Structure 1
Amino acid sequence: MPMFAFEGKTPQVHPDAWIAPTATLIGDVVVEKGASVWYGAVLRADFGRILIREGSNVQDNSVLHVGDGVCEVGPDATVGHSCVVHDCTVGEKALIGNHATVLDNATVGARTLVAAGSTVPPNTDVPSDVVAVGSPAKKFLPQSESARGWVEHNAEIYRQLARRHAETIKPVD
């Protein structure tokens, strides 16, 4: 996997984390135990630190960047496919839906689902246990049973899938 030091800061990956061979980590990135970073994802920490907490996952083609602070993906949280997560905090077990964007200084509460394609504007505090919808995401709805299921189980599904990829992927000539 491509990992690059930047101005003396080198990515730190726990031995029990899984990083896809085409993911790119640059600078002050920390990936904790049981976390995964998937194919084509780019985590660029050249201004501040990116923390991928224990058991969380950053899925294919997502981009995480940080200003002069910390961009944190909380424990057991999910950043879905092709998301932009910029200089913000994603709470424990939160799920950022595919193609969603979370911008500077926003906070996504624990167990919250940001709906696919939604944009959380800068400086927005999204409460815990809701579905955030829209672009901008200003509508916070109660979670359906289905949404709660995705939020509750997605991190474990991806931990198991990461183990399968770690054990079985092979380059093809």
Structure 2
Amino acid sequence: MIIGDDFTVGHACIIYACTLRDYAVVSMGAIILDGAVIEEEGILGANGLWPPGKRIGPRELWLGNPARLVRVMTPDEVLQWMHNPDHYVELGKRHRAALVQQLAVRQGRFRKSLVPIPMPGWCNGA
């Protein structure tokens, strides 16, 4: 398996012996099989199935099972996906902080009520 920088693999995905280039996206529940490639900024949509040895080109959006090319994305569309890796790293940090806080409460080291973890405005629909 070859994996580039700043890629995104959603939850419940199966990725097997494939290549994911920089900023590639494998959305929730998608399956990418052996020898397949997702080039820079390419996307396999949610629950998509990508067969062995096939290639998703740069900025291509593929959806379905079996996946079919929907379109080549514009630079503006690609920019919307670029925040994914940083966003998921931040969510991981928040999740870890909340778990540490809950563990401290259970062990009696922290008796105050739990402090809510702030969410950015765009997560709250603001």
TM-score if structure 1 supplies the norm length? 0.53
Aligned equivalents of 1:122, 1:161: Cα separation in 2: 32
Which structure has the highest strand share of the two? 1
Match in the other structure for 1:72:
2
Gap regions ≥5 residues in structure 1: 1-70
Aligned equivalents of 1:121, 1:140: Cα separation in 2: 17
Contact 2:43 2:56 in 1 (8 A): no
Percent identity of the aligned residues? 25
Counterpart secondary structure, 1:116? coil
Counterpart secondary structure, 2:95? helix
| Cα 1:124/1:152, change in 2 over 3 Å | same
1:156 to 78, 86, 92: 86
Which structure has the highest helix share of the two? 2
Match in the other structure for 1:64:
none
Match in the other structure for 1:99:
29
Pairs aligned (count) = 103
Match in the other structure for 1:30:
none
Contact 2:16 2:32 in 1 (8 A): yes
Q: For residues 86-133 of structure 1, what are the alpha-carbon distances to aligned partners after superposition, in whole Å with 9 as ceiling and x for unaligned?
A: 110111111111111000000001111111111110000110111012
TM-fit CA distance, 1:147: 4.6
Gap regions ≥5 residues in structure 2: 107-126
Query: Residue type matched to 2:32 in 1?
Result: V
Aligned equivalents of 1:103, 1:150: Cα separation in 2: 26
| Cα 1:147/1:100, change in 2 over 3 Å | farther
* TM superposition outliers: structure 1 runs of 4+ over 6 Å: none
